[in-house]
Structure 1
Amino acid sequence: MAAVDWRAVPRKLRALEPVFTMDKTQATIILCGFYLFFSFAGNVAATKVTFFGKLVMDAGFIYSLTFTWRDLIHKQLGKKAAITTIWLAAAINLCAALYFQFVVVLPAEPSWADAGGQAAWQFLFGIISPAEAGAWWQTIFSLQLRIVLGSIITALIAELVDTHVYHLWTTGIGRNRPQWSRVFVSNSISIPVDSVLFPLIAFSGIISATAMREMFYTNVMVKAIITLLVFWTIYLVPEKPLYKGDL
């Protein structure tokens, strides 16, 4: 089909002009690629627990972007694409964690090991020694693997909840509401779910209950702030996408 010359279209009809002059494959790669990056980088960074004054949280706060970015995928590509991306992110993170386990057991070059490299990998990605572990499940999973499994379980639950709430809002009472409202409504449900599940799964037995409680409040606050900073990105993609290949 021949391309449309939008300059020749009457001004009243120019609202139909697409936001992106790209095809659906390009849009899919860009949106899903960034989501996978936010998820993977957040999982790796979450191995560090940090604090700012009395605020305690893991360092994987880049993961907070996935909540709003999931909404962009849902809006642009549909509910099935959003769910598929959520499951794909879970599979990638799990495969990466298992590969890191394999890397740990590979023979280490002596000078690198003496410099602390092997010990660092063993702590982050290796099997926790039974002598250092508490509960039985801590003897099986490394810190990184626990974090990844915790993140996978948490993300699947929280992001699927986000997907369901977003779908209900955009097809029901919020259908004619401003687009930013769908971001706040879906995130207001999924963020607390994510923030309470992740510390329990990933850090139980490693940090104190007080630290986990502070981590929950901090995570909710940080993710809410990030939502306030990036909610406008929902307008980066058109409501009813018109791709270059459709013209």
Structure 2
Amino acid sequence: MEPIESSPSESIKAQRDGALGIVVVSGYVATQMLSDVASLKIGVVFGLAVDMGTFIYPVTFTLRDLVHKRLGKKNARILIILAGLINLFMAFYLWWCARIPGDPSWGLQEEFRAVLMPVWRIVIASIVAEVISELLDTEIYHWFVHRVTPRHQWARVMVSNGLSIPVDNAIFAFGAFWGIVPADVIGQIWLMNLFVKYLITLVSVPMIYFVPEGSAIR
């Protein structure tokens, strides 16, 4: 029996779907890395302390939902673990770069060390928070789609993100800063992070409609 050849339209659709998968996976990993680097700075916004990765990190929850929608639960889990390992490797690599002597003509060795040499407690707290909260987000998203309703895609994002964000927030804020900075500063970081993450979640909800439902929904 001769193999059935796909039509040009099916071939184009397959290429488009493959490209969408690449985009959402790349966006997820890139956003995770950017937020981890930015979290090395604690800024002051509206008079409250906040780690600067907060303004981009919440997007990863919605991007994870896009991966889940397009590639399925199993692949979403794999991506979460791989992203955690990539961020850990990034921290080790920056640490190694910071320890290598700088060329005298460059003159920015200490500045590089001061800004980019990882604070390991923050790195570990961040990665643990990311992995646990994103895996939780995966389970809640899957439960909502299969136990509640596959409709109302905005609701699956709001519910999964809404329940996993406080977990991420608590693990990171207390894991990274407890015993290092005053408790009231940790409280400011927790509250400000929670507010910003929920706000950005609301803004990012429409992204769930950017990709079609994949065949690997389980």
**Aligned residue pairs: how many?**
210
Larger Rg: 1
Q: Deviations over 1:97-149 (max 9, x none)?
A: 11111112211223544xxx2223333444xxxxxxxxxxxxxxx52x32221
Aligned to 2:124: 149
Q: Distance in 1 between matches of 2:102 and 2:110?
A: 10
Question: Cα distance, 1:161 vs. partner?
Answer: 0.6
Residues 240 and 97 of structure 1: CA distance in aligned 2, closer, same or farther (over 3 Å): closer
Aligned to 1:197: 171
Q: 2:31 is matched with which residue: 38, 42, 45?
A: 38
Aligned to 1:102: 96
Residues 37 and 95 of structure 1: CA distance in aligned 2, closer, same or farther (over 3 Å): same
- The percent of aligned pairs where both chains have the same amino acid is 38
Aligned residue runs from structure 1 range 64-213, under 5 A: 64-113=58-107, 117-126=108-117, 142-143=118-119, 145-173=120-148, 175-213=149-187
Q: 2:6 is matched with which residue: 2, 7, 26?
A: 2
Question: Cα distance, 1:26 vs. partner?
Answer: 2.3
Question: Cα distance, 1:231 vs. partner?
Answer: 0.2
Q: Distance in 2 between matches of 1:210 and 1:155?
A: 24
Question: Cα distance, 1:45 vs. partner?
Answer: 0.6
Letter in 2 for 1:170: V
Residues 204 and 118 of structure 1: CA distance in aligned 2, closer, same or farther (over 3 Å): farther
Q: Deviations over 1:50-83 (max 9, x none)?
A: 1122332111121110011100000010001111
Unpaired runs of 5+ residues, structure 2, are none
Q: Deviations over 1:11-36 (max 9, x none)?
A: xxxxxxx9x66355423221110000
Question: Residue 229 in 1 paired to residue 197 in 2?
Answer: no
Q: Distance in 2 between matches of 1:161 and 1:80?
A: 13
TM (norm. structure 2) is 0.88
Residues 5 and 87 of structure 1: CA distance in aligned 2, closer, same or farther (over 3 Å): closer
Residues 83 and 176 of structure 1: CA distance in aligned 2, closer, same or farther (over 3 Å): closer
Q: Distance in 2 between matches of 1:48 and 1:84?
A: 29
Unpaired runs of 5+ residues, structure 1, are 7-17, 127-141, 243-247
Aligned-CA RMSD value = 2.2
